[in-house]
Amino acid sequence: MKTTTLLGNTSNSPKEVKVPMNPQPQTDLQKRIQESVNTHASKTQGRKQDYLVIHCTATPEGRNVTSAEIKIWHTSPPPKGNGWKHVGYTHIFHLNGGVEQLVANDDDGWVDTWEVTNGVAGYNSNSKHICVVGGLSKDGKTAKDTRTPEQKKSLEKFVKDFHKKHPTVHICGHNELASKACPSFDVQAWLKSIGIKNPKIY
């Protein structure tokens, strides 16, 4: 133990107190500071999010798709699947309007390494990908906007909430970043129709 003199007391003589030399447990403030440092270090491993990309599952109108199917399509080795390390989307929008999260995401405006999804080649490290079930007519070949009223409602809410939180992130369709029909509707026209002024970064 070490002794030191404190002069700020109300008695006439200095008061000696014993100060332990061994380290003490971190205070709550110290813990929060360390957590902040660790969080920043984690983020520097990823990239700032620039895009929210909307996809479709490219499945026939009216056909339900489960998250298990998507995981098989994307992560199973060929020929059963694509053999990717990650699925292509963080969220899917089911026919009944339900929204299912497939990949953990803290929605902080950064794409950390553990949040990356394989949505568009060349854009995955700075994008978040979401997907609407459907996108083809019942023949399974022709691109078509098959969104149900419930899907439109839940997608609008999700995108509006996202845009309010991240107003500088550009929202677009897969077909704006690659030669694809996906998501089978004009995302920019739809954004305008729901009152979102979309920032352009490309």
The tokens 């996809």 sit on which residue?
55
Cβ atoms within 10 Å of 170's Cβ, excluding its own = 17
Sign of CA dihedral 152, 154, 159, 160: positive
Candidates 84, 50, 49; CA nearest to 70 is: 84
**Residues 6 or more apart from 129 whose CB is under 8 A from it?**
53, 55, 88, 89, 90, 117, 119, 120
How far is it, in rounded angstroms, from Cα 119 to Cα 86? 10
pLDDT attached to residue 158: 96
pLDDT attached to residue 1: 47
- Active-site positions read 55, 89, 174, 180, 182
Task: Domain 48-193: give its CATH architecture.
Answer: 3-Layer(aba) Sandwich (3.40)
How far is it, in rounded angstroms, from Cα 185 to Cα 202? 20
How far is it, in rounded angstroms, from Cα 35 to Cα 137? 49
How far is it, in rounded angstroms, from Cα 119 to Cα 130? 8
Which amino acid makes up residue 34? Q
pLDDT attached to residue 107: 85
pLDDT attached to residue 199: 82
pLDDT attached to residue 83: 86
Instruction: List the chain pLDDT tens, one digit each, 202 residues.
Output: 444 333 334 444 444 434 344 445 556 655 544 554 455 444 446 788 889 999 999 999 999 999 999 999 999 999 988 888 888 899 999 999 999 999 888 888 888 887 788 778 888 787 898 999 999 999 999 999 999 999 999 999 999 999 999 999 999 999 999 999 999 999 999 999 999 998 876 5
How far is it, in rounded angstroms, from Cα 34 to Cα 123? 32
How far is it, in rounded angstroms, from Cα 158 to Cα 167? 13
pLDDT attached to residue 5: 37
Cβ proximity of 75 and 81 under 8 Å:
yes
- The pTM (predicted TM-score) of the whole model is 0.74
In the chain, where does the domain assigned CATH 3.40.80.10 lie?
48-193
pLDDT attached to residue 109: 87
